[in-house]
Structure 1
Amino acid sequence: MSEAAALGEEVIGWAPPPRPDFDVLEGQWTRLERLSADDHAASLFRAYSSHDALWDYMPNGPFHSAAQYHRWAREAEASTDPLHFAIRNRDTGTVGGTCALLRIAPEAGSIELGYIALSPELQRSRVATEAFCLLIEWAFEAGYRRFEWKCNALNMPSRRAAQRLGLSYEGIFRQAQVVKGRNRDTAWFAAIDSEWPPLREAYRAWLRPENFDAEGQQKERLGDLTSLVRAASDPGL
């Protein structure tokens, strides 16, 4: 092995990207809006009501009153890392979920998607999937080199979602955290910038209106379109 190879590939022509500073991202079915307690909290609390299980693997929640959720949203909207967004269905105008960009490290070219809380209406929907695609697109087009997704290793729906998006499985970090008094092993997934062009084409193909029937059901699965891009698949799925 040459000395240069032993030191790692030289990164040429890359500069640290900007931190995310946008308030809105729009797609065909989705509108991502910077979280605002006054604008979104009441609708989100209603959407989450009676669905406490969605907080099982989250560091926050469950919330047992609208006032309690409003207080959390007020604190979250003031944060720049995590940077929280509300997910709005453009067809219905309703807000039914949140997500965030976090561990934002322009100096490393790395950024993560997390704090994903989806009401039953948005779970496994094209609205939510497009929201994630919009954030991945923004990151790579802005110049980030690495887009990460981490979740509790017991959270199989989250692991399936990451793989469906074409993010590669990178392993389990054992005893990575203590969350709500319980051990958390963390599953890591990521995509890197060289994988973005084929991922972008897969997203565009999946998001074509022609890929959905009259009931909004997909004809071609996103996971099938992204399968050739993934460097490694999750052996637990």
Structure 2
Amino acid sequence: MPISQSVLEASKRAMQALIPPPDIIPSEWAEKNVVIPLGNAIPGPIRFDNAPYQKGMLNVVKEPGIRRVDLMMASQTGKTTVMQCIVSYFIDHEPKSQIFAQPTEGDVNTFRETKLKPMLDANPDIFEKLAKPRGRSGVHNSRIISYAGGWLMFSWAGSPNTLRGRSAPITHADEVDAMEVTKEGDPVNLLTQRSATFGDQQLSIRSSTPLIKGESRIETGFL
């Protein structure tokens, strides 16, 4: 019986997941593998020469003992680029399941379609590791994208159900200062709980532009 193309693709991804990743820190991986798409201020292969502080923001996610990272950044200082690189690192180099949350469903859709999708399209080696839309060997839709070794799920603070749907070792909470507490609790805490059972693999990444001093989640976490 001939083997279908979808089975071959699934087998290829499974074998790739068994190969241990080379020892390389995230910023070095990004400079070797990430291309910033057209439409950005500096398109092309990513380089941190103009923003060396971003290297530390990337590398900290692999520091021994780190379980939470708070990124407090002003607008237009590269926060989105850093987040995209972290997400891609845990897709391509060290595959793990991830949950990415933003304040509203609209925020999630905007990030996915105008930021993440163009970046993945500009990086075919990373895109190749994702399940194909409408394919039979994984899931690739507006809520979840699977890849060998894990999946990336999108959630938003206004829908606690999307924060409880699955558990993952890596959680990203973007623009936490704009996330409103619901009757079910603080969405940032709800999201963090999704990684609580993963022990040493747990990593909670929180990022935001600070809003109101004294009430800012990201300021409290950063300090």
TM-score by length of 1: 0.30
Higher strand share: 1
Report the structure number with the largest CA radius of gyration.
Answer: 1
TM-score (norm: length of structure 2): 0.32
* Structure number having the greater helix percentage: 2
Q: Which structure would you say has the larger RCO, counting Cα contacts within 8 Å and 6 or more residues apart?
A: 2
